[in-house]
């Protein structure tokens, strides 16, 4: 069997090496239009920052290494320009000329390319770069060494944009981020992204959100935003997003779908027989909803490459889809997410509920414990887990990985308190944040607690609800209070309950949500109508600091 793989890196090389392990006699040819067939594209920003010091560390395998270990025919600088599904031939352009390559099976792993929106003056700019491969990182680092830029603008505040902003700041540049969406890191919900926005600002990064760049002047050194603001930039990174590299597939008559993604079946086969596709270019099923989506992440691409090799080799593997689990570091914080966010659920029309809990990365009494804010989104009746997001200095990867595993394993929020984790004070808590999120979600499902979200507070105050802050007076003096709140510390609530009217519905709040839950239970059992402000003061003050009275 002769298998031609078009594109390397995660999907293509995973397929190639797995094919060899299963088929010693197969002829396996890997075509890569660039110079590098196996490199760590997720590590590129960290080479710019200097965290990764040796460029060679980005190169996972060379063609020579792949030939020696796996007997793969790897051909860099060899671009597949056409596929003829009828003749079963690939047209290849190389430095030695053009030739035809016959195949029994083809695996497309072309990846995605940076999306660069049209803008006035963009073609004349000389200081604008994207970040997708090793030549890109060479261009950026070479420009920095030659021109010694002082000011940088990153357009787009997704995962790569935030990583590049951090990396350039670490190199001493004054960094500005421009994001068209209302907040940084659009895959996260607004209140969770607010923590990362604060971290960016605390490290000197200037933010412009809800606005796009419309023009580039002075060869790219002046950037005009749609609100009229002009920015000066010595170096600009375009990180608006990616789009599937689908030109080869379209020319071959292969069917595409949303945003031009390549359509594949449960065996990764395209609409053309014996042509398969994996990686960032394909449409997958969002495993939670079954809807089409595109997830450009390394882990799914590696899995897909291995699975398509299994399928071609006759093993029973199915494309089950993905849930999109990801993480990003932003200076001293990390943000991680899995599954669906609240905005996606609103657009889908699904019924859902939310809890925010605040915990620690390890036992609070052990030195250097740091906070974790964990958001869990779930079905309010069945407890099906839809997704989660977490922010913190340490340990957010562990918690989101656990919840991602729970989603994949079809667990519900009722199972989360039953999960048993390793525990000793330096490593975790006896009640892990994941356990606590499960308890909080069960309280919602079972009617033990009723909560409102941060964006509902003002509307409910206008409807006649009284906001009751059950923190101590010292906390309020130090941290501030929410507008319209009255204060009765939770430890005084039973003694002072007569100061409250049962005719007036109440929203309770504290610092993190624990004391307000206790107050909710006390008041409800004394005949009051009560709802708990989910996430409490700390969450609301983070996303709406202008509403805090000091």
Q: Residue 41: what pLDDT?
A: 80
Confidence of residue 58 (pLDDT cuts 50, 70, 90): confident
Local structure of residue 384 (DSSP, 8 states): B
Q: Give the pLDDT mean for 475-482.
A: 96
> Is residue 157 scored above 90 in pLDDT?
yes
42 is catalytic: yes
> Is residue 38 scored above 80 in pLDDT?
no
Q: Give the pLDDT mean for 66-83.
A: 94
Q: What is the CA radius of gyration of the chain?
A: 26
Annotated active-site residue in 42, 263, 448, 548: 42
**3 state SS of 204:** coil
Mean model confidence pLDDT for the chain: 95
Query: What span, in angstroms and rounded, lies between the C-alpha atoms of 324 and 47?
Result: 25
- Tell me how far apart the terminal alpha carbons of the chain are, to the nearest angstrom: 73
Q: What are 146's two structure tokens?
A: 């030659």
Query: What span, in angstroms and rounded, lies between the C-alpha atoms of 403 and 117?
Result: 35
Confidence of residue 63 (pLDDT cuts 50, 70, 90): confident
Confidence of residue 423 (pLDDT cuts 50, 70, 90): very high
CA distances 484 to 481, 499, 506, Å, are: 9, 16, 12
Residue of 243, 406, 438, 259 lying closest to 323 (CA atoms): 406
Confidence of residue 8 (pLDDT cuts 50, 70, 90): confident
Q: Residue 332: what pLDDT?
A: 97
CB-CB contact of 513 with 428 (8 Å): no
> Is residue 362 scored above 90 in pLDDT?
yes
Q: Which residues, 6+ apart, have CB-to-CB distance to 238 below 8 Å?
A: 114, 116, 128, 129, 130, 155, 156
Q: Give the pLDDT mean for 1-19.
A: 93
Q: Residue 10: what pLDDT?
A: 85
Q: Residue 539: what pLDDT?
A: 97
CB-CB contact of 58 with 39 (8 Å): yes
Local structure of residue 395 (DSSP, 8 states): S
Q: What are 467's two structure tokens?
A: 């906001």
Q: What are 284's two structure tokens?
A: 């997958």
CB-CB contact of 199 with 396 (8 Å): no
Q: Residue 36: what pLDDT?
A: 80
Query: What span, in angstroms and rounded, lies between the C-alpha atoms of 331 and 329?
Result: 6
Query: What span, in angstroms and rounded, lies between the C-alpha atoms of 441 and 261?
Result: 36
* Digit-coded pLDDT (tens) for 111-137: 998 888 889 999 899 999 999 888 899
465: Cα separation from own chain's centroid: 36
> Is residue 42 scored above 90 in pLDDT?
no
> Is residue 34 scored above 90 in pLDDT?
no
Q: Residue 189: what pLDDT?
A: 97
Query: For 41-55, 168-182, 432-446, which range has the lowest pLDDT when averaged over its residues?
Result: 41-55
* Torsion angle defined by CA atoms of residues 134, 135, 136 and 141, in that order, rounded to the nearest 10 degrees: 90
Q: Give the pLDDT mean for 229-248.
A: 95
Query: What span, in angstroms and rounded, lies between the C-alpha atoms of 442 and 450?
Result: 11
Output the DSSP codes for 434-471. HHHHHHHHHHHHTTS--EE-GGGHHHHHHTTPEEEE-S
Q: What are 147's two structure tokens?
A: 């021109």
Q: Residue 24: what pLDDT?
A: 96
Q: Give the pLDDT mean for 202-229.
A: 96
Q: Residue 56: what pLDDT?
A: 85
Confidence of residue 345 (pLDDT cuts 50, 70, 90): very high
Q: Give the pLDDT mean for 37-62.
A: 87
CA distances 504 to 494, 520, 528, Å, are: 17, 14, 8
Confidence of residue 17 (pLDDT cuts 50, 70, 90): very high
The enclosing H or E element of 541 equals helix 536-543
């Amino acid at each position: 069997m002769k298998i031609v793989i078009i594109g390397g890196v995660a999907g293509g090389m995973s397929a190639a090496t797995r094919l060899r392990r299963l088929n010693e006699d197969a002829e396996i040819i890997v075509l890569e239009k660039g110079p590098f067939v196996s490199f760590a594209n997720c590590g590129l920003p960290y080479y710019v920052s200097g965290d990764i010091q040796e460029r060679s560390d980005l190169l996972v395998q060379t063609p020579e290494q792949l030939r020696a270990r796996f007997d793969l025919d790897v051909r860099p600088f060899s671009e597949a320009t056409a596929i003829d599904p009828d003749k079963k031939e690939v047209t290849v352009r190389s430095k030695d000329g053009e030739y035809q390559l016959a195949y029994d099976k083809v695996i497309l792993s072309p990846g995605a390319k940076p999306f660069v929106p049209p803008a006035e003056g963009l073609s004349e700019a000389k200081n604008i770069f994207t970040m997708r491969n090793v030549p890109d990182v060479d261009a950026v680092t070479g420009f920095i060494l030659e021109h010694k830029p002082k000011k940088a603008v990153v357009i787009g505040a997704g995962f790569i944009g935030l990583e590049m902003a951090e990396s350039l700041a670490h190199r001493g540049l004054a960094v500005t981020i421009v994001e068209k969406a209302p907040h940084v890191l659009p895959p996260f919900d607004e209140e969770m992204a607010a923590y990362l926005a604060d971290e960016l600002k605390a490290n000197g990064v200037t933010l412009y959100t809800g606005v796009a760049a419309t023009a580039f002047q002075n060869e790219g050194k002046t950037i005009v935003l749609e609100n009229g603001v002009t920015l000066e930039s010595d170096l600009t990174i375009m990180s608006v997003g990616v789009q599937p590299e689908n030109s080869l597939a379209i020319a071959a008559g292969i069917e595409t779908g949303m945003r031009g993604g390549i359509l594949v079946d449960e065996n990764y086969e395209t609409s053309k027989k014996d042509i398969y596709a994996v990686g960032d270019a394909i449409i997958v099923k969002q495993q939670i909803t079954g809807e089409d989506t595109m997830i450009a992440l390394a882990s799914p691409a590696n899995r897909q490459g291995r699975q398509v090799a299994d399928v071609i080799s006759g093993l029973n593997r199915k494309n089950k889809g993905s849930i999109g689990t990801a993480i990003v570091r932003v200076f001293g914080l990390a943000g991680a997410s899995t599954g669906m966010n609240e905005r996606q659920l609103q657009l889908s029309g699904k019924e859902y509920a939310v809890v925010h809990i605040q915990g620690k990365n390890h036992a609070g009494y052990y030195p250097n414990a740091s906070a974790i804010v964990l958001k869990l989104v779930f079905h309010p009746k069945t407890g099906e887990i839809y997704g989660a997001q977490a922010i913190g200095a340490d340990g957010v990867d562990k918690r989101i990985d656990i919840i991602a595993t729970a989603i994949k394993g079809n667990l519900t929020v009722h199972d989360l308190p039953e999960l048993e984790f390793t525990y000793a004070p330096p490593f975790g808590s006896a009640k892990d944040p994941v356990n606590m999120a499960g308890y909080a979600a069960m309280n919602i499902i079972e009617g033990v607690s009723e909560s409102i979200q941060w964006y509902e507070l003002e509307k409910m105050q206008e409807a006649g609800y009284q906001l009751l802050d059950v923190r101590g007076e010292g906390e309020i003096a130090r941290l501030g209070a929410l507008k319209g709140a009255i204060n009765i510390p939770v430890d005084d609530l039973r003694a002072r309950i007569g100061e409250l009217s049962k005719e007036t519905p109440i929203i309770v709040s504290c610092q993190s949500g624990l004391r307000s839950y206790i107050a909710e239970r006390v008041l409800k059992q004394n005949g009051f109508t009560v709802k708990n402000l989910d996430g409490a003061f700390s969450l609301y003050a983070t996303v709406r600091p202008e509403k805090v009275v000091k």
